Structure 1
Amino acid sequence: MTTRILLNCDMGESFGAWRMGDDAHAMPLIDQANLACGFHAGDPLTIQRTVALAVQHGVSIGAHPSYPDLAGFGRRHLACSAEEVEALVLYQLGALDAFCQAAGTQLAYVKPHGALYNDLVRDDELLDAVLRACASFRRDLPLMVLALADNSRERRLAAAVGVPLLFEAFADRAYLADGQLAPRRLAGAVHQDPERTLSQALSIARGQPFADLDGKPLQLQADSLCVHGDNPESLAVLRRLRAQLDAA
């Protein structure tokens, strides 16, 4: 088994009195933390505390920008123009970076959240808008995108603006045959069985095929593996996955 794959988790997604995830216990187990920037979750104090937690544990900080959709947790598709998307992503990067600078660190990458993340798979103009936001913020700032069966499109558009890419796979989400995530409205789209989640995670880390939503084999090449923090079983899975990767 290769241990080169990184582990990432969506974090800082609490808002005011509302709590999401167990960031304090998950942070020591991961390599990359995708921090909400206030548009789908996260408030200034939550962002500040989560940045400090990441710095404490030596975890890379990624921006997790979304559509402006607090009520829908960023999972609703909004009719934003490419120009709007470029501006709203740049706005969120600046907000998170202020806390990073104050803590003596910097943004390491960008991973869009929810509906925006999924829209980038299908919409060249939106993907180009997010790439432009990354490039204008900092020339070497990588964008994390979904690892598909074929990522030639993403590579081509990113190369045109000089943005590095990180390819991501998911431990706890079911996949369609082309490597796209199964929509959450479909039964079985989110794995509830921790054994299924761990098995899929280890297959991806090893570069081996795993079953898609229809039970057919799918193989993905990924730089980073996501375990969602809002899955009730995520902490237990992270502990077992971290131990197995470290032991290899």
Structure 2
Amino acid sequence: MKLNCDLGESFGDWRMGLDDEVMPHIHMANIACGFHASDPKHMEVTVKLALQHGVTMGAHPGYPDLMGFGRRSMQCTADEIRGLLLYQISALAGIAAVHGGRLCYVKPHGALYNDMMRNETLLRTILETLAAYPAPLTLVIQATADNQARQALADAYGVPLWFEAFADRAYDDSGLLVSRQQPGAVLDDPEQILARAERLATQGELESLAGHILQLQPDTLCVHGDNPAAVALARDIRQVLDAVPG
């Protein structure tokens, strides 16, 4: 299982996250593309940092919502979704290419990610956009209790999927993330998060907020690296993942 992290989310002189410290501990960098966070300067800095550490790069596009950090849903048409995806992916892909790198995947950010999981029409639009893109791109999508329907849909468009789980977020019984507005939605106990990561890596399961066992079988695990404790946690989770056979 690969460890991924959302990075490159600084903007201008405002700093977000500890990218320099977390990058050496992850396999995949989800790089913000300017709509919910980041700017051209920080996009380039993050690309160069990922290349320095041999980290796989992916685009992390969101709704055009800097004020809300991309965590607010927006009512966009299919054409608007295609446009905002192509704009962000292409900008980051161009920066990566200048430095001899390439994008391998796309992981939507925040509300766009959550909306994709709940709205099949939106998911189809995203898959259609990636299928038409001139370079192959995998879509990172949340692992749920039943991945078959979304896998079949992606197969129809010829877009590979990587299923993702979150060690530091609470789940409902359907395997979707609990809204950040609800108490307990974000876990902050490092020992609990590490134990969940190990359980996901070795057994492919975790408990929902209500105590039900969810079988998820993820390909990648998301960790956040926006404070010193989170950086240490990313290091510890990487060690756990690297120790799992196969």
TM-score (norm 1): 0.95
CA positional deviation for 1:86: 1.2
Does 1:147 pair with 2:173?
no
CA positional deviation for 1:17: 1.4
Question: Pick from 31, 35, 48: which aligns with 1:35?
Answer: 31
> In structure 1, what is the Cα distance between the partners aligned to 2:92 and 2:136?
17
1:244 aligns to what?
A: 240
CA positional deviation for 1:247: 3.7
> In structure 2, what is the Cα distance between the partners aligned to 1:180 and 1:245?
23
> In structure 1, what is the Cα distance between the partners aligned to 2:159 and 2:139?
7
Question: Pick from 97, 111, 115: which aligns with 1:115?
Answer: 111
CA contact (8 A) 2:145 2:215 kept: yes
1:163 aligns to what?
A: 159
> In structure 1, what is the Cα distance between the partners aligned to 2:173 and 2:158?
30
Question: Pick from 129, 132, 150: which aligns with 2:128?
Answer: 132
Q: Which one-letter code corresponds to 1:182 in the other structure?
A: V
Question: Residue deviations 1:147-205, cap 9 Å, x none?
Answer: 01001221122112111111000111111111100110111100011111111111111
Q: What SS class does the counterpart of residue 119 from structure 1 fall into?
A: helix
Aligned positions of 1:15-94 closer than 5 A: 15-94=11-90
CA contact (8 A) 1:192 1:233 kept: no
> In structure 1, what is the Cα distance between the partners aligned to 2:100 and 2:231?
28
1:204 aligns to what?
A: 200
Structure 1: segments with no counterpart, 5+ residues = none
> In structure 1, what is the Cα distance between the partners aligned to 2:11 and 2:127?
28
CA contact (8 A) 1:64 1:111 kept: yes
What is the CA RMSD across the aligned residues, in angstroms? 1.3
Question: Pick from 224, 231, 235: which aligns with 1:228?
Answer: 224
Distance change in 2, residues 1:138/1:164 (3 Å): farther
Q: What SS class does the counterpart of residue 194 from structure 2 fall into?
A: helix
Q: Percent identity?
A: 53
Does 1:193 pair with 2:218?
no
1:99 aligns to what?
A: 95
> In structure 2, what is the Cα distance between the partners aligned to 1:82 and 1:191?
34
Question: Pick from 211, 214, 222: which aligns with 2:210?
Answer: 214
Q: What SS class does the counterpart of residue 141 from structure 2 fall into?
A: strand
Does 1:10 pair with 2:6?
yes
> In structure 2, what is the Cα distance between the partners aligned to 1:24 and 1:175?
30
Q: What SS class does the counterpart of residue 145 from structure 1 fall into?
A: strand
CA positional deviation for 1:216: 2.3
Q: What SS class does the counterpart of residue 243 from structure 1 fall into?
A: helix
CA positional deviation for 1:244: 2.6
TM-score (norm 2): 0.95
Structure 2: segments with no counterpart, 5+ residues = none
> In structure 2, what is the Cα distance between the partners aligned to 1:218 and 1:138?
36
CA contact (8 A) 1:139 1:162 kept: no
CA positional deviation for 1:236: 1.5
> In structure 1, what is the Cα distance between the partners aligned to 2:219 and 2:134?
21
> In structure 2, what is the Cα distance between the partners aligned to 1:207 and 1:110?
26
Question: Pick from 166, 177, 184: which aligns with 1:181?
Answer: 177
Question: Residue deviations 1:116-170, cap 9 Å, x none?
Answer: 0000111111111111221121353110000010012211221121111110001
CA positional deviation for 1:19: 1.1
